[in-house]
């Protein structure tokens, strides 16, 4: 029997923003590919009441599209940038409820899920209640750590999680953080991220370096890569400052875009390491695995994470990680081959990088640390959890 899932996801790719929530789309596509679940995604697009330039490309997102075997709807809802956060679940619900009622009437769903605890979770709880369906909600990291510090959002998350049939978390550590906040964890299930093992696999380092040399990256010395949005929570300023503690031959390549781009470039200049730091912006799907395989280490000094996809992708390419002891880091860095857990301090980060560079651990031994991660395993586990939800109705 094929079950039908309605998934609410505020972060999801669209033609105008293909990398936005890509890890969510991979999960949904992997679940749909199994054949036992038919997946419909509703990706609410928040737009201000008056046109603003930075929202212009969102207006061109199509109302509905087919992404492989997943149907994705992109309804709009009105938000006030920086002000309507506490009201967004209600605004989303009001905007999408007519759509989901029509979809449910045409072909009934078996359950609803939320891909993030906020604002998706409270909205999914209301949608599921209106349709008379069970629902599940998943915690990923910043949805807990950021919104958990805001009283209105936390109250809504507590209420939603208390009524959910299943609560998922990307790591056991994140689950413990959720319990501290008073969120429902009595029936918490850890659901690790997936991994495209065809893309993220070790390429011989020399071959990979030759392949990325066309990007203007110096490959004649130790190479460190940092993959993450250029926003304060990722701590890329610490990675740049760490370069001042490392030999001149060590180079840092930063992959990603974000609001801190110019500030980080200025920081590299002021620290005297601009010649050692290269900003690549976002890179193509085929470039990132080669870049990770070419690197001696991947550094990401985030302030908070659940369990970062970038950690797993680096390990799968045979590249050790140097990361803080946050979120599910201990669930990933289980032995020295995987990398080092360090303090969020430039000198400590530099020492961790020196350690893994000097260790010269074989790529296949490092890649073995990510052996349990795949989108197939991710989807199988999700299907198992969701089948139990539907069966318990």
| pTM listed for this prediction | 0.88
Sequence-separated (6 or more) residues with CB below 8 Å from residue 35: 2
Beta strands in the chain (DSSP E): 3-8, 37-42, 45-47, 64-67, 70-73, 76-78, 111-114, 135-139, 166-169, 188-190, 223-227, 251-255, 277-281, 297-299, 321-324, 339-342
At 312-358, the pLDDT tens digits run 999 999 999 999 999 999 999 999 999 999 999 999 999 999 999 99
The dihedral through the CA atoms of 269, 271, 275, 279 has a sign that is negative
Secondary structure letter of residue 317 according to DSSP: T
3-class secondary-structure state, position 19: coil
* 311 sits in which H/E element: helix 309-316
Q: Is 90 exceeded by the pLDDT of residue 267? A: yes
Q: Residue 287: what pLDDT?
A: 92
Q: Residue 275: what pLDDT?
A: 95
Single out the residue of 319, 347, 314 nearest to residue 243, CA to CA.
Answer: 347
Q: Residue 18: what pLDDT?
A: 80
Q: What fold, for 205-370?
A: Rossmann fold (3.40.50)
Domain-wise residue ranges, the chain? 3-194+374-391, 205-370
Q: Is 149 left (phi over 0), alpha (psi -120 to 50) or beta?
A: alpha
Distance of alpha carbon 366 from alpha carbon 347, whole angstroms: 24
Same fold, 3-194+374-391 and 205-370: yes
Q: Is 80 exceeded by the pLDDT of residue 13? A: yes
Q: Mean pLDDT of all residues in the chain?
A: 95
The pair of structure tokens assigned to 9 is: 């996801």
Q: Residue 57: what pLDDT?
A: 86
Candidate CATH numbers 3.30.420.40, 3.30.565.10, 3.90.79.10, 3.40.50.2000; the one for domain 3-194+374-391: 3.40.50.2000
At 117-166, the pLDDT tens digits run 999 999 999 999 999 999 999 999 989 999 999 999 999 999 999 999 99
Phi, psi of 151, rounded to the nearest 5 degrees: -55, -45
At 209-265, the pLDDT tens digits run 999 988 888 888 999 999 999 999 999 999 999 999 999 999 999 999 999 999 999
Q: Which of 15-24, 266-275, 365-374 shows the lowest mean pLDDT across its residues?
A: 15-24
Distance of alpha carbon 308 from alpha carbon 374, whole angstroms: 14
Distance of alpha carbon 77 from alpha carbon 144, whole angstroms: 23
Sequence-separated (6 or more) residues with CB below 8 Å from residue 300: 226, 227, 228, 234, 235, 239, 308, 310, 311, 321, 322, 323
Q: Are 302 and 238 in contact (CB under 8 A)?
A: no
Q: Are 51 and 102 in contact (CB under 8 A)?
A: no
What number of other Cβ atoms are within 10 A of residue 332's Cβ? 24
The pair of structure tokens assigned to 83 is: 């002000």
């Amino acid at each position: 029997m094929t079950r039908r899932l309605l998934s609410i996801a505020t972060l999801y790719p669209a033609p105008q923003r293909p990398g936005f929530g890509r890890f969510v789309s991979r999960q949904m596509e992997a679940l749909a590919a199994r054949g036992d679940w038919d997946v419909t995604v509703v990706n609410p697009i928040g737009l201000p009441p008056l046109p603003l330039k930075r929202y212009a490309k969102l207006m061109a997102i199509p109302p509905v599209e087919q992404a492989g075997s997943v149907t994705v709807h992109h309804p709009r809802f009105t938000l006030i940038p920086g002000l309507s956060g506490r009201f967004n679940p209600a605004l989303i619900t009001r905007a999408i409820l007519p759509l989901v009622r029509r979809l449910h009437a045409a072909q009934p769903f078996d359950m609803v899920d939320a891909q993030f605890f906020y604002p998706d979770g409270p909205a999914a709880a209301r949608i599921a209640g209106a349709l008379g369906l069970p629902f599940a909600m998943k915690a990923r990291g910043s949805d807990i750590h950021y919104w958990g510090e805001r009283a209105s959002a936390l109250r809504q998350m507590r209420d939603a999680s208390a009524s959910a049939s299943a609560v998922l978390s990307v790591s056991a550590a994140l689950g413990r953080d959720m319990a501290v906040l008073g969120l429902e964890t009595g029936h918490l299930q850890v659901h690790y991220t997936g991994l495209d093992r065809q893309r993220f696999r070790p390429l011989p380092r020399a071959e990979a370096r030759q392949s990325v040399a066309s990007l203007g990256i110096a490959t004649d010395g130790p190479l460190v890569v940092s993959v993450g949005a250029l926003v304060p929570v990722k701590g890329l300023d610490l990675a740049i400052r760490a370069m001042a503690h490392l030999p001149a031959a060590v180079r840092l390549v930063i992959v990603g875009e974000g609001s801190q781009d110019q500030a980080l470039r200025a920081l590299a200049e002021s620290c005297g390491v601009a010649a050692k730091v290269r900003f690549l912006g976002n890179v193509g799907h085929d470039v990132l695995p080669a870049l990770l395989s070419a690197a001696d280490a991947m550094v990401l000094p985030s302030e908070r994470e659940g369990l970062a996809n970038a950690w797993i992708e680096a390990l799968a390419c045979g590249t050790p990680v140097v990361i803080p002891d946050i979120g599910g880091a201990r669930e990933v860095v289980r032995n020295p081959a995987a990398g080092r857990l360090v303090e969020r301090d430039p000198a400590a980060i530099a020492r961790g990088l020196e350690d893994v560079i000097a260790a010269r651990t074989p790529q296949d031994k490092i890649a073995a640390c990510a052996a349990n991660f795949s989108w197939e395993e991710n989807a199988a586990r999700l299907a198992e959890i969701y089948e139990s939800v539907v069966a318990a109705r």
